[in-house]
Amino acid sequence: MAATLPPARPAPMLSDPQRASGGEPMREVAWAAALAAGLAGPALGQADTVPTRTANDGQVILSGVPPIPPALSARLAPYGDIRSAALADVGPDAVYLLTRFGSTSQLHRVRFPGGDRTQLTFGETAVTGAWLRPSRPQMLLQVDSGGAEFYQLELLDLASLARRRLGDGRSRYTAPRFSRDGRWLAFTSTRRDGRANDVWLLDLESADTATLLFAAPDGWNYSALDWDRVGRRLLVQQYRSIADARLFLVDRATGRAEPLLGDDAHPATYSDAWFDAEERGLFLLTDAFGEFVRPAYFDLARRRLEPIPWDVPGDVETLVLAPDRRRGAVVVNVEGMSRLYLFDPATRRFAPVGGLPDGVIGAVRFRPDGGALALSLSGPTLPGDVFVVPLGASPLEAGAPERWTESETGGLDPRGFVAPQLVRYRSFDGRSIPAFVYRPRRAGPHPVVVLLHGGPESQFRPSFNALVQSWVNELGVAVVAPNVRGSAGYGKTYLALDNGRRREDAVRDVGALLDWVATQPDLDAGRVVVYGGSYGGYMVLASLVHYSDRLRGGLDLVGISHFVTFLRSTQGYRRDLRRAEYGDERDPAMRAFLEAISPLTNAHRIRAPLVVVQGANDPRVPPSEAEQIVRAVRANGMPVWYVLARNEGHGFARRENQELLRDVVALFLLDRFGLPVPSSEGTGW
């Protein structure tokens, strides 16, 4: 689709290393050497003229990026010291959480509120999930190396801390689910052919090798949700898209899969399914009854689905039942904030849980005896922490939540963190678009970062974001995070508004946001930069295609630059899932449309400086997507800073790389907004 807005000549770009005083020495690295080391794909254009160096022991290549002033790094360093704690699981006498003290996230244990964190796993391989094995002093670990997302499963002995790998070390392993007695482990893996997301089964008592339980007959993702009491039947979800997820009942002995809910004629989402106490039916979440996801009950004998009375607006995003199935809990997303309710399966009634800070709830787990509910919570000014809600004799009775962890804020006063304001603005067709606005406390008008979320079926939510806080408090930059059409959390109709050939309507929502910024006296419409990752990276590039004359620059993190090349090169196990969202490039008409709207096709219209960030191990958006847009925009004569990390995947997870990226982004924003750069002499801020 041709852009209609005329390009504007950008302001000069910071490119002279002398302007960034106090920077580390530039170490020139030819792209041929980088290629030989396996750090990059095809050689980038202007490789002989763009200064290139490495950082972090050669793991990160920076092309066209000026040196970082040490004074800038020092000013922002406390934000790298902010920690968070995410709940992994809860046992009879401890909570288990994931947090990071070194470069990668590891498993820790806390035995009482405010207690010391005891580290249980070590090393460079990140632990991304952990689950207690029922009735055994063991935990199942999900680990990831280098951000490649080829997750492996390991069994951790909690006494000796010895670890045993359960997979082949090559395939991808996700969605593990223990049987209730802890003997059987079901999981999803690509080990059959590298593409299919099959369900596998491992007898942890008598076998070392998993067996194929259910072979995926198509390109969709299958995962285990719940076991019956005796470990004979397994609930399995087939995930096609955010709007179409189906349920099957699989026999462990035969592998026979019986369809329960979902079909082509009536697409809907069915998730978070649990057997009830008598195993006569299932409690689950579905959007089959209206705009929003809500609780429901499926009678197995009558094959009948019925809604459970529920009147809270917003999507119910989590449903959990206690091990005895006599009590439960739900989390509902209300305009981006989480609300927690207890659930009585017998009466099908709900009761709100008070006393929790405002924020976004992550994992929710019942203690094995059902006497407490543990959860993760991150708020606008609260780094992620673990809370435990003591429960009473009645399923709807709860005591005051207890905060078990209090994550460090890097020496920063948390009272200085800024909470966003929720606003709405009108788009081109009159539709109301929600956005969260972070405003600096100092006098304006402020330059603006428009933060575009990924997904696309995701949502910007006001959990704690150290990067945003550093922009607002240290740089004096306002941040506006819109949930453009196609975002989750606002109903099925809103979710579908960017589907198919309406893809660029979401980009027009960004244009309408720029109009809204111009009406705000404390915001500077002449100094706006767009920032986004993954699909948000595509949105950044598309916004630059259409609105270069209104933008001072863009930051594209692991973004899609061309839909056809992306669909051809993303990992095979997720290709059909992405086709369901973006369109099937094998269809000539759809391919022509995707070609027309791709930023790479229209790269000649990008007339503003750009930062591109990529992980070499990214299985979702491969480095080729970054490299081709860097070549094309540099061919326009536009400055491009390119940051490539060989030990990262779909985003930067390692601390040292996150800190480097934070400084690169800050330097770019200071330059594009015409703000002073701090120097070793103490000038600039």
Give dist(CA 514, CA 448) in Å, integer: 10
Mean pLDDT, range 156-164, rounded to an integer = 97
Taking only the tens place, the pLDDT of each residue in 252-299 is 999 999 999 999 999 999 999 999 999 999 999 999 999 999 999 999
Tally of CB atoms within 10 A around 589:
10
- Check if the beta carbon of residue 573 is closer than 8 Å to that of residue 194: yes
- Check if the beta carbon of residue 646 is closer than 8 Å to that of residue 616: yes
| Cβ contacts of 485 within 8 Å, gap of 6 or more | 427, 431, 433, 494, 497, 498, 505, 506, 509
**Topology annotation, domain 17-80+412-672:** Rossmann fold (3.40.50)
Mean pLDDT, range 99-114, rounded to an integer = 93
* Confidence bin at 195 (pLDDT 50/70/90): confident
Taking only the tens place, the pLDDT of each residue in 429-471 is 999 999 999 999 999 899 999 999 998 789 999 999 999 999 9
Give dist(CA 650, CA 664) in Å, integer: 18
For residue 620, the model assigns a pLDDT of 87
- Check if the beta carbon of residue 404 is closer than 8 Å to that of residue 376: no
Give dist(CA 77, CA 83) in Å, integer: 13
Taking only the tens place, the pLDDT of each residue in 46-78 is 444 899 999 999 999 999 999 999 999 999 999
For residue 587, the model assigns a pLDDT of 84
Q: Which of 588, 543, 591, 536 is nearest to 563 (CA)?
A: 591
Taking only the tens place, the pLDDT of each residue in 565-589 is 988 878 776 777 777 777 778 889 9
Taking only the tens place, the pLDDT of each residue in 610-651 is 999 999 998 889 999 999 999 999 999 999 999 999 999 898
Indicate if the pLDDT at residue 25 is higher than 70.
Answer: no
Distance between start and end Cα atoms, the chain: 43
* Confidence bin at 26 (pLDDT 50/70/90): very low
For residue 102, the model assigns a pLDDT of 84
- Check if the beta carbon of residue 165 is closer than 8 Å to that of residue 154: yes
- What angle do helix axes 655-672 and 70-80 make, rounded to 10 degrees? 130
**CA 338, 339, 340, 344 torsion: positive or negative?**
negative
For residue 293, the model assigns a pLDDT of 97
* Confidence bin at 680 (pLDDT 50/70/90): low
* Confidence bin at 18 (pLDDT 50/70/90): very low
- The domain limits of the chain are 17-80+412-672, 84-165
Indicate if the pLDDT at residue 342 is higher than 60.
Answer: yes
Give dist(CA 129, CA 548) in Å, integer: 41
3-class state of residue 568 by DSSP: helix
Computed over every residue of the chain, the mean pLDDT equals 90
Burial of 219 (0-12, 13-18, 19+ CB in 10 A): middle
Give dist(CA 331, CA 675) in Å, integer: 42
